[in-house]
Amino acid sequence: MATTNDLKNGLVLKLDGGDLWSVVEFQHVKPGKGGAFVRTKLKSIKSGKVVDKTFNAGVKVEVATVDRREMQFSYMDGDEFVFMDTETYDMLNVSRVAVGDAANYLLENMTATVAINEGNVLYVELPAAVELIISETEPGLQGDRSTGGTKPATLETGAEIKVPLFITTGEKVKVDTRTGDYLGRA
């Protein structure tokens, strides 16, 4: 148990019947009249939904123990992703739901952070940017436009992103794993 005074970004709380919420943002407020309180922005670990919640200052909140481990993606086993712990070499099967959108940018032997709570995998977090090869894109045709244009391109993982017209099939590009945006050539 901790108090609302101990809140910090990234802390995982167990609220409302055992649901896990990650603290995205928090602010201690001391109005001129009345007691102090803590205004927070919480993100649901399960659904990804972000909500605003206000706590009175000093109120006890239950903190969930989350073990974050560096793991290497090994292979697909049916509809599950198999990760290997880089320290103990233990294998861990992770469902597609827990991997989420990270599956669009995940290649074999890629290292990711896997968050585990009480034996359950909560989520898989990739580095902010990854380098992937463009497996297919149409040739870009320069036309009459005042700004640079974009075109769809398919990555080696099968995900589709928008790239500038000068990018060709077989090029290695940097992709933002949080938004899916093209960041530049690798």
All domains in the chain, ordered by first residue: 2-63 (2.30.30.30), 67-125 (2.40.50.140), 129-185 (2.40.50.140)
Q: What is the pLDDT of residue 6?
A: 82
Confidence at residue 59, expressed as pLDDT on a 0 to 100 scale: 86
8 Å CB contact between 115 and 133: no
Instruction: Write down the pLDDT at residue 86.
Output: 87
Instruction: Give the 3-state DSSP-derived string for 46-68, with helices as H, strands as E and coil as C.
Output: CCCCEEEEEEECCCEEEECCCEE
CA pair distance 124, 159, nearest whole angstrom: 17
Q: How many helices (H) and strands (E) does the chain have?
A: 1, 16
pTM assigned to the model: 0.71
Contact criterion met (CB below 8 Å) for 121 and 69: no
β-pairing verdict for 2-3 and 60-63: antiparallel
The residue that leads in pLDDT, 147 or 12, is 12
Q: Which residue has the higher pLDDT, 33 or 148?
A: 33
Q: What is the mean pLDDT of residues 98-120?
A: 86
Q: Average pLDDT of 73-83?
A: 89
Which of 15-24, 106-115, 174-183 shows the lowest per-residue confidence on average (mean pLDDT)? 15-24
pLDDT computed for residue 172 by the predictor: 92
Q: Is the dihedral of CA 17, 22, 28, 33 positive or negative?
A: negative
* Dihedral angle sign, alpha carbons of residues 107, 70, 21, 179: negative
Is residue 19 very low, low, confident or very high in pLDDT (cuts 50, 70, 90)? confident
d(CA 87, CA 106): 20
| Cα 101 from Cα 180, distance rounded (Å) | 9
Residue with tokens 């640079």: 148
Length of the chain: 186
- The 10s digit of each residue's pLDDT in 120-173 is 888 888 888 889 999 988 886 666 455 667 888 999 888 899 888 888 889 899
Look over the chain and give the mean of its residue pLDDT values, rounded to a whole number: 85
Confidence class for position 82, pLDDT limits 50, 70, 90: very high
Task: Tell me the mean pLDDT in the region 79-93.
Answer: 89
Which strand (E) or helix (H) includes residue 123? Answer: strand 120-125
Cα 118 to the chain's mean position, in Å? 20
pLDDT at 146: 53
Structure tokens at 166: 């000068």
Cα angle value 35/38/44 (rounded, 5°): 150
Say if residues 12 and 64 touch (Cβ distance below 8 Å): yes
pLDDT in tens, 38-48: 899 988 877 77
User: For the chain, what percent of residues have pLDDT higher than 90?
Assistant: 10
